[in-house]
């Protein structure tokens, strides 16, 4: 009870400060972690953030399900489209208006840095995903929506005030978008040139040009960079195998085993036309053997996976029989 009175006293003091000091705000949250809300309470209005969490592999992400803007009423309460804030017995309550009315106690945010980080994470991930969809619509061979967590982790100001962070995030994502679009334009032009001239281009020019497509496929923004083949690279390699099969093996021979893997995977395991052309290539015996070994391995993988799954099922059945 003393704890509740202390919280109520702190809230009343802070609300009194708001009433006297223009521009100040009170940062609140619902006391229970389920159906969690953050509230930015100001003298004349308030923002209510309905939060939710989700898992992205090992990462925990936050999302803002809804933002409600509330206006202060003549009786001191705050009212919005979906929520209200009222004072009841020296405590502040957030009321969610729905088929089943729900009242939730509001308390002062215990850790403002953590609360801001949650709001900032939700805003950043949403804005990054919007950017990814927009770029992917213009450049179908590019997609890095999954990379939003990596770019978020690279930030060193995750816990700043959420209002300041939004201005920062908007500017950062704009720079990222400009950089990515510039890179995708470059890759598109180069890819189209190589495909259009694939039957006449000499090997040296092809090799040097293809190397320029071996770039980061997920985020060309320089703060997050990991070398791997782009979809443009794979598409060109496929056309090389189809139109200049001997060049395909020469390219594979000049790359490391890791990049050889990327080159090999540019060819589908059921693409009979291209595989037949590659089989007819003379010489390059060592790399040809590695390539067709890789094809056989990839063809077996689905059956191996099914076999392991069946073995696990049989093991569980036998264990059940032994126990019972």
10 Å Cβ neighbour count for 92? Answer: 24
Q: What is the mean pLDDT of the chain?
A: 83
Range of the domain at 29: 2-110
Same domain, 87 and 132: no
| High-pLDDT (> 90) share of the chain, % | 60
Where is the domain boundary, 147, 171, 204?
204
Same domain, 101 and 138: no
Same domain, 118 and 93: no
The residue length of the chain stands at: 324
- Helices of type H across the chain: 2-20, 112-138, 148-153, 162-196, 203-211, 231-243, 245-253, 257-264, 272-279, 285-323
**Count of domains observed in the chain:** 2
Answer yes or no: is 238 within a domain.
no
Answer yes or no: is 289 within a domain.
no
pLDDT above 70: residue 244? yes
Mean pLDDT value of segment 206-230 = 62
Residues in contact with 138: Cβ distance below 8 Å, sequence separation at least 6, in sequence order: 181, 184
Where is the domain boundary, 91, 110, 129?
110
Same domain, 166 and 90: no
pLDDT above 60: residue 275? yes
Per-residue pLDDT reduced to its tens digit, 35-83: 899 999 999 999 999 999 988 777 788 999 999 999 999 999 999 999 9
| High-pLDDT (> 70) share of the chain, % | 80
Is 178 within 8 Å of 135 (Cβ atoms)?
Answer: no
Mean pLDDT value of segment 5-23 = 38
Mean pLDDT value of segment 209-227 = 56
């Amino acid at each position: 009870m003393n704890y509740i009175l202390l919280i109520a006293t702190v809230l009343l003091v802070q609300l009194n400060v708001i009433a006297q000091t223009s521009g100040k705000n009170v940062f609140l949250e619902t006391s229970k972690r389920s159906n969690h809300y953050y509230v930015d309470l100001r003298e004349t209005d308030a923002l209510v953030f309905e939060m939710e969490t989700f898992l992205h592999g090992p990462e925990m992400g936050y999302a803002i399900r809804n933002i409600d803007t509330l206006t202060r009423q003549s009786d001191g309460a705050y009212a919005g489209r979906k929520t209200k804030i009222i004072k009841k017995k020296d405590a502040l309550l957030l009321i969610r208006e729905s088929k089943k009315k729900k009242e939730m106690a509001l308390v002062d945010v215990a850790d403002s840095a953590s609360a801001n980080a949650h709001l900032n994470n939700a805003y950043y991930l949403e804005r990054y995903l919007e950017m990814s969809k927009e770029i992917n619509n213009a450049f179908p061979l590019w997609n890095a929506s999954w990379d939003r967590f990596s770019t978020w982790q690279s930030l060193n100001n995750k816990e700043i005030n959420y209002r300041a962070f939004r201005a920062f995030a908007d500017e950062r994502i704009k720079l990222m978008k400009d950089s990515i679009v510039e890179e995708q334009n470059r890759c598109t032009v180069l890819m189209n040139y190589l495909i259009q001239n694939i039957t006449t281009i000499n090997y040296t020019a092809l090799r040097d040009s293809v190397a320029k497509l071996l770039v980061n496929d997920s985020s060309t923004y320089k703060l997050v960079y990991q070398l791997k083949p782009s979809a443009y690279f794979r598409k060109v390699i496929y056309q090389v195998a189809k139109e200049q099969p001997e060049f395909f093996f020469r390219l594979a021979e000049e790359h490391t085993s890791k990049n050889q893997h990327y080159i090999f995977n540019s060819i589908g395991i059921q693409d009979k036309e291209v595989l037949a052309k590659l089989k007819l290539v003379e010489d390059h015996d060592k790399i040809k053997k590695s390539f067709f070994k890789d094809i056989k391995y990839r063809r077996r993988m689905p059956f191996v996976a099914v076999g392991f799954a069946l073995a696990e099922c049989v093991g569980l059945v036998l264990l059940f029989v032994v126990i019972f």
